[in-house]
Amino acid sequence: GRIKNTGLVEVPMGISIEEIVNKIGGGPIHQTKIKAVQTGGPSGGCIPAEMFRLPVDYESLTRAGSIMGSGGMIVMDEHTCMVDLAKYFTKFLKEESCGKCFICRKGTQRMYEILDDISAGRGTLEHLSLLEELGPIVKYASLCGLGQTSPNPVLSTLRYFREEYIEHIEKKRCPAGVCKDLITYTINENCTGCGLCLKSCSAEAIRGEKKEQHVIDPKRCIKCGACQSVCKFNAVETR
């Protein structure tokens, strides 16, 4: 994840998440703020930084809405969108469902569709209530462990990061700048008119004269991020 030291480590049962992330993992990369960890693999829940004193054991993780699972831990920082994260893992679980149980097959599919709507700016507050109603049904009516744990990424992010969902829905904004349909690329006054962004744009959405501030046409921009990656002056920003 987004920490300095990644890899395979053996730790005693009951060690805190904080010790694993900060002492063993070395803390965040590039002075960013750690937001959460996901434990247990794709069907694990997300635990916010405010709860990092939580001991890593079966009971504590279950109470927090996650699982021990495979023993894996993914560390996320402020550049991680929790809606996008839940959508990513729900898509994986949807595709891994064997299809035997109707509730798992259709439940994971419907959860993914709702998350996709939210990340694309089509979400409503009623969608949140639907996810909170659908998740427990999938959890308790599925026949195997995959279906029973598949709602964890959704329910835990809703529980601890509900404000991010609301911001996607009400303000049509992704705070982490991840959901492409909810971000706009602009060029600020730091632009020197070097032309690197213009040359990198495959959509020909950037225009401007040499040594003058360039402009991005939002109607042509495909939001690939190429302009931001090549800019040496931090002139390309997302809103």
DSSP 3-state of 193: coil
Q: Are residues 86 and 156 in the same domain?
A: yes
Q: Are residues 72 and 120 in the same domain?
A: no
In a domain, 54, yes or no: yes
Read off the pLDDT of residues 160-201 as tens digits, 9 standing for 90 and up: 999 999 999 999 999 998 999 999 999 999 999 999 999 999
- Buried b / exposed e over 117-138, threshold 16 CB at 10 Å, is bbbeeebeeebbeebeebbeeb
Please count the structural domains in the chain.
Answer: 3
Inter-axis angle of helices 162-170 and 125-141, nearest 10: 140
Q: Which domain holds residue 57?
A: 17-77
Q: Which residues contact 93 (CB under 8 A, 6 or more apart)?
A: 42, 43, 108, 146, 150, 153
Work out the percent of the chain whose per-residue pLDDT is above 70. Answer: 100
CATH number of the domain where residue 126 is located: 1.20.1440.230
Cα separation, 116 vs 84, in Å, equals: 8
Cα dist from 107 to 85, 95, 127, 149, 173, whole Å: 18, 12, 14, 12, 27
Reply yes or no on whether the pLDDT at 67 is more than 90: yes
CATH number of the domain where residue 42 is located: 3.10.20.600
In a domain, 63, yes or no: yes
Confidence grade of residue 30 (pLDDT, cut at 50, 70, 90): confident
Q: What are phi and psi of 220, to 5 degrees?
A: -95, -20
In a domain, 127, yes or no: yes
Q: Are residues 142 and 207 in the same domain?
A: no
Look at residues 114, 228, 110 and name the one whose alpha carbon lies nearest to residue 178: 228
Q: Are residues 156 and 197 in the same domain?
A: no
Indicate the length of the chain as a whole number: 239
CA dihedral (98, 101, 106, 112) positive or negative: negative
Mean pLDDT score of the chain:
95
Find the distance separating the first CA and the last CA of the chain, reported in whole Å. 25
In a domain, 10, yes or no: no
Look at residues 151, 150, 226 and name the one whose alpha carbon lies nearest to residue 185: 226
The whole-number pLDDT of residue 120 equals 96
The whole-number pLDDT of residue 179 equals 94
Read off the pLDDT of residues 138-150 as tens digits, 9 standing for 90 and up: 999 999 999 999 9
Cα separation, 44 vs 34, in Å, equals: 18
Q: Which amino acid is at 139?
A: K
Residue located via tokens 């109470």: 63
Cα separation, 147 vs 165, in Å, equals: 23
* Domain end call among 60, 77, 94: 77
Cα separation, 205 vs 64, in Å, equals: 46
DSSP states of 102-156: HHHHHHHHHHHHHHHHHHTT---HHHHHHHHHHHHHHHHH-SSHHHHHTTHHHHH
